[in-house]
Amino acid sequence: MFTVIGFMLGGMCLGFLLRNRQLPQLNRIITVLIWILLFLLGIEVGENEKIIQGLGTLGIEAFVITVAAVAGSCIAAKILWARLNKTRKKESAK
């Protein structure tokens, strides 16, 4: 726990010190590091027998959550779009 907090604080301090510098390769470095972390996470998951055995159940739950989130976002967007159009029509009628 302290290691994670230490790394975060170290990164924050380094970011503060380098905030005015242009670091053109930083995005590429971050992307590569994220891919490495995902790969290592995949190895960890693949080694865990309980996760592999429950993968079907986890997949179904993830699918249901994803569908519900997308449906909720679409419904909210439709409601917001309708309200924005009502406001625009009222303003243009004046």
Domain ranges of the chain: 20-49, 54-94
C-alpha to C-alpha distance for 23 and 10, rounded to whole angstroms: 18
Tell me which residues of the chain have a pLDDT lower than 70: 93-94
pLDDT given at position 72: 98
Question: 68-83 pLDDT, tens per residue?
Answer: 999 999 999 999 999 9
Are residues 46 and 52 in contact, defined by beta-carbon separation less than 8 angstroms?
Answer: yes
Give the predicted TM-score (pTM) of the model.
Answer: 0.51
pLDDT given at position 86: 83
pLDDT given at position 94: 64
Q: DSSP readout, 19-52? A: TTS--TTHHHHHHHHHHHHHHHHHHHHHH-HHHH
C-alpha to C-alpha distance for 88 and 82, rounded to whole angstroms: 10
pLDDT given at position 63: 92
Name the token pair of 48.
């865990």
Return the half-sphere exposure (C-beta side, CA atoms, 13 A cut-off) of residue 20.
1
